[in-house]
Amino acid sequence: MNAFAWVKRGILVLAAGLLTLPFFATLSVSAEVIHEERSLYRDITVVQNGPRRCLIFNIRIGDRNQTCVDVNDTDKLVFAYTRMSFAGLLLQPEPKRILVAGLGGGSIPMTLTDLFPDAVIDVVEIDRAVYNVAKEYFFFAENPNMKVSILDARVFVKQAGREGVKYDYIVLDAFTGDYIPEHLLTREFLDEVKQIMTPDAVLVANTFSTSAFYDHESVTYQDVFGQFFNFKLPTSGNRIIITRLTPLPERAELTSQAQVFSERLRKYDIPILEYPVRLSTEVDWDMSRRVLTDQFSPANLLRDN
């Protein structure tokens, strides 16, 4: 990189800093930090702003909220990506055994157990501090059908594979403050996930829709699963990958399933009827990008390039 480019980059960084400054200023005025702790993996901050309570990882480097709840209406899903993850129900309407990787504030597993009280739900979360915060501040509660394992998701999935445990609904939502951990993005990991899916299982993976890394990620999912639904909304920076082992359903099938669910999902604020038209199989990434493997997965370096 030449000197000019460095200067340019410096100016950009400075500008970005100045732009985000008002955000932090407002944050400090109207929002109140109600809990702060440094876990083994990250800084955890819980911020309350009116009725909205949010979990933030690594606040100092300007990370976005991991999850938020409305303390007056805890059923309501505040974030678009959380709501979007329920589009998986269009492909698997009756999950019986569910795996959620990444607890966060616990809104996805809480909604799932509320919807399907008989389903057995395993949640895997690496950070015990996140688990404690979810229970204390985000109304997360385990029940006889829903248990949390404090473990790395890769280890959990591999163990489940060895034990022959299978799931019919899998949500991958494991994020550090930065992005998805590198060893949860590789072809080998997705192959291990594949092994714990029942023939009718759906896989729902939360990713980001921006960044150069998008291409590598898409190519990797394509390599393992063939086709997948790419689910993006203009209002969200997230891209939800939805796939299964058998060929993907037609749109008509998704639409009729959405109608079945529409009423049940209303109390969570999930506009499921709007989702079928957004589930796209169109390739909008650079197919020539390298597949991520355990040998090559510089995810968090690629993200900025």
Active site positions, annotated: 173
Query: Would you say 185 and 101 are in contact if contact means Cβ atoms under 8 Å apart?
Result: no
Give CA–CA dist 97/94, Å, rounded: 9
Looking at the Cβ atoms of 50 and 298, the one nearer to other proteins is: 298
DSSP class per residue in 187-250: HHHHHHHHHTEEEEEEEEEEEESSSTHHHHHHHHHHHHHS--EEEE-TT-SEEEEEEESSPPPP
* 244 near other proteins (CB under 8 A): no
Query: Would you say 85 and 206 are in contact if contact means Cβ atoms under 8 Å apart?
Result: yes
* 95 near other proteins (CB under 8 A): no
Exposed / middle / buried, residue 202 (Cβ in 10 Å: 0-12, 13-18, 19+): buried
* 191 near other proteins (CB under 8 A): no
Site stretch for other proteins (CB under 8 A), options 29-37, 107-115, 228-236, 288-296:
288-296
Which of 41, 63, 200, 209 touches other proteins (CB under 8 A)? 41
Looking at the Cβ atoms of 63 and 188, the one nearer to other proteins is: 188
# residues contacting other proteins (CB under 8 A)? 24
Give CA–CA dist 137/74, Å, rounded: 11
Looking at the Cβ atoms of 196 and 270, the one nearer to other proteins is: 196
- Tokens found for residue 67: 């999850």
DSSP SS3 for 56: strand
Taking alpha carbons only, the member of 282, 279, 228 closest to residue 257 is 279
DSSP SS3 for 256: helix
Looking at the Cβ atoms of 124 and 265, the one nearer to other proteins is: 124
Looking at the Cβ atoms of 2 and 295, the one nearer to other proteins is: 295
CB of 153 to other proteins, least distance (A): 8
CA dist 132 → 74, 148, 178, 257 (Å): 18, 11, 21, 36
* 158 near other proteins (CB under 8 A): yes
Site stretch for other proteins (CB under 8 A), options 53-61, 177-185, 221-229, 231-239:
177-185
Q: What is the per-residue binding string for other proteins in 137-156, x denoting contact by CB under 8 A?
A: --------------xxxxx-
* 43 near other proteins (CB under 8 A): no
Which of 67, 107, 186, 243 touches other proteins (CB under 8 A)? 186
Residues that bind other proteins (CB under 8 A): 40-41, 126, 151-155, 158, 162, 181-183, 186, 188-189, 293-298, 301-302
